Amino acid sequence: MQYIEVNDLSFHYEEEPVLENISFKVNAGDFAMLTGENGAAKTTLLRNILGLLKPSKGSVSLANENIHGEKLVVGYIPQQVASFNAGFPSTVLELVQSGRYPRGKWFKKLDNEDREHVEKALQSVGMWNERNKKIGELSGGQKQRISIARVFAMDPDLFVLDEPTTGMDVNSREEFYKLLKHSSEFHNKGILMVTHDHEEIKRYANKHIELIRKENSPWRCFSMDSCKELSKHPSSFH
Amino acid sequence: MFFYGFMQRAFQASILISLIAPILGLFLILRRQSLMADTLSHVSLAGVALGLLLGIDPTLTNIFVVVIVAGLLEYLRKVYRTYSEISIAILMSGGMAVALVLMGLNDSGATLSITQFLFGSIVTISVQQVWMLLSLTILIIVLYGVFRKQMYTLTFDEETAYTAGLPTQVMSILFNVLTGVTIALIMPIVGALLVSAILILPAAISLRLSKSFNGVIFIGMGVAMIGMILGLIGSYYLGTPPGATITLIYIGIFSLTALLKKTM
């Protein structure tokens, strides 16, 4: 089932084109990585997909429903979460619990199942013991980890992640990629992730969308040649 | 002091303001809109001046003008996303300019009334104003209870709130409108020049004292209540303007808590 469809998308900042002729799909169960050099408008593309920016040409469609016929839940981690609203008066637990709200809990109390999800998410990023800390007291890496925990607690159908592993060490990154691969492979989650570590992720992702600079363009404009299917490696994470 | 009807109404109004100020104040601070309260209070003056010129109840024209400008603020915040304080500068000076021009066009004793609105007056609080404040307090507390989770998510990060399916723009406009109506109602009591301090300071003090979201609001209510009541008593005995007296007490509490936090 198709979660994201980008069809001949172009995006211009005023007159200057920054993205042109972008087309790809992300389905349920896909782990797609989006790469490109610095300034390749990767974040701009994600923001177009999420509806935060409007394409100048072409179209983007996000599915309304997930594979079970329920409302599609999107989990988004923006770039540089380390600089997030650090003075916000919230404990780590409160913030990660807020990830459950879009799961039909805007007007309902969180139940045991929600609490289990939250605990599991915090355990998976090694932040359970820090749950009563104020978020402003955390280091940059810890803030990154609770942002990831918040999205995992949400249990979204589609993950849209903008360089989520910035500042993470190699082992933490490996664990994170395994968790994502497990989510896509065994729970049919769709994943679109902007990354610079494409060599590391190659063995987890099954799609590679690369933004490349357009030749003969007077502007610093990016496009893509194709959406490459990568060979699937068996998951080692259960 | 408590036998005077106007003081009873002043205390009733103060308790109600203490309940709503930390809720709105916290969201204003976290949304980096602390100066919005100042802008709306300046615009409020234009609303009051319009009412006095047309011979209509100034509270009604005030609410009308502030609600329109609260919506306009959200539009300008989007247009000048990077420099959102531009919208504040435009509307604050614009509001003040319109108020002064309307006052100039009014030949009756409007200047005296405007002075009351500028500095606040506890003598002028009417029973009708207390009832309006009570209705507003109930509305804000109910809305906070119902939409606390949505507002928490919106305030933490507007973009992730949008991707989580929240109608962020509608919520922002409604929040601005609610803030505008509150300012229009409390301005005659505390004064246009200090209304933002009354809204912002209790939340600013309690932000340093609690690490949870609800904790900040509840402590803020306590701080606001102490500040408002002590300020009113001080204003009564010293004959000083209520808004200024309350603000000075808040600044005293702020300094004291900052000092205590440092020594602890």
Do A167 and A67 belong together in one domain?
A: yes
Q: Chain A interface, mutation test: which of B27, B30, B81, B160, most A Cβ atoms within 10 Å?
A: B160
State whether A169 and A225 are in the same domain. Answer: yes
Q: Are residues A67 and A89 in the same domain?
A: no
Number of domains in chain A: 2
B213-261 pLDDT, tens digit per residue, is 899 999 999 999 999 999 989 988 998 888 889 999 999 999 999 888 8
Best interface-test mutation with B: which of A43, A50, A97, A101 has the largest number of B CBs within 10 A?
Answer: A101
Task: Specify if A78 maps to a domain.
Answer: no
Interface A–B counts its CB contacts (< 8 A) at: 70
- Collect all residues with Cβ–Cβ distance below 8 Å to A206 and sequence separation of at least 6: A30, A31, A32, A184, A229, A230, A232
Last residue of a domain, one of A122, A154, A186: A154
Q: Which residue, among B23, B28, B156, would best test binding to A if mutated, counting the most A CBs under 10 Å from its CB?
A: B156
Host domain of residue A94: 84-154
- Backbone angles phi and psi of B167, in degrees to 5: -80, 80
* Co-location of A7 and A57 in the same domain: yes
Q: Residue A132 pLDDT more than 90?
A: yes
User: Pick from B153, B211, B216: which is nearest to A98 by CB?
Assistant: B153
Say if residue A98 is in the same domain as residue A111: yes
Residues A172 and A146 in one domain: no
- Joined together, the tokens standing for residue B75 give 């539009």
Give the pLDDT band (50/70/90) at residue B73.
confident
Q: Please indicate, yes or no, whether residues A144 and A187 belong to a single structural domain of this protein.
A: no
- Chain A residue numbers touching B160 (CB-CB < 8 A): 76, 78
Q: Please, which pLDDT band fits residue B117 given cuts at 50, 70 and 90?
A: confident
Per residue in B168-185, pLDDT tens?
989 998 998 899 899 988
List alpha helices for chain A, DSSP H: 42-50, 92-97, 112-124, 140-154, 170-187, 198-201
Q: How far apart are CA B233 and CA B139, in angstroms?
A: 28
Contact B152 A98 (CB under 8 A): yes
Mean pLDDT of A27-47: 91
Stretch among A166-170, B61-65, B167-171 having the lowest mean pLDDT: A166-170
Q: Which residue of A has its CA nearest to B217?
A: A89
Show which of A110, A127, A154 is a domain's final residue. Answer: A154
CATH dotted code for B5-263: 1.10.3470.10
Would you call A51 and B162 a contact, using CB atoms and an 8 Å cutoff? yes
What percent of chain A lies above the pLDDT cut of 90? 51
| % of residues, chain B, pLDDT over 90 | 41
- Going from the C-alpha of A158 to that of each of A40, A68, A170, A233, the distances in angstroms are 23, 13, 25, 21
**Residues from chain A contacting residue B215 (CB–CB below 8 Å):** 89
- Asked if the model's pLDDT at residue A236 lies above 50, the reply is no
Residue B1, pLDDT > 80, answer no
Residues A56 and A163 in one domain: yes
**What ipTM, to 2 d.p.?**
0.86
Of A74, A88, A107, nearest to B163 by CB-CB distance is A74
B156, A85: Cβ pair inside 8 Å? yes
Interface test mutation site (partner B, options A94, A155, A161, A192, max chain B beta carbons within 10 A): A94
Domain shared by A228 and A217, yes or no: yes
Mean of per-residue pLDDT scores for chain B = 88
Q: Hey, where are the domains in chain B? A: 5-263
Same domain, A100 and A132: yes
Q: Is residue A77 part of a domain?
A: no
* A79 shares contact with chain B (CB less than 8 Å): no
Among B157, B165, B211, whose Cβ lies nearest the Cβ of A102? B165
Q: Which of B30, B160, B215 sits opposite A88 (nearest CB)?
A: B30
Confirm whether A43 is domain-assigned.
yes
| CA atoms of B192 and A222, how far apart (whole Å) | 52
Q: What pLDDT was estimated at residue B109?
A: 61
CB contact under 8 A, A91 and B211: yes
Q: Is the pLDDT of residue B11 over 60?
A: yes
- Residue at which a domain ends, from A114, A129, A154: A154
Whether A180 maps to a domain, the answer reads: yes
Q: What is the pLDDT of residues A180-204, one digit of tens each?
A: 999 999 999 999 999 888 777 888 8
Residues A98, A191 share a domain: no
Q: What is the pLDDT of residue A238?
A: 41
Asked whether A52 and B162 are in contact (CB, 8 A), the reply is yes
- Asked if residue A79 is part of any domain, the answer here is no
On whether residue A141 sits in a domain, the answer given is yes
Answer whether residue A15 shows pLDDT above 80. Answer: no
> What CATH number did the domain enclosing A1 receive?
3.40.50.300
A36: distance to nearest CA of chain B, Å? 23
Residues A68 and A104 in one domain: no
Contact A94 B212 (CB under 8 A): yes
Q: Can you tell me the distance from the alpha carbon of B105 to that of B44, in angstroms, rounded to the nearest whole number?
A: 17
Neighbours of B117 (CB within 10 A): 25
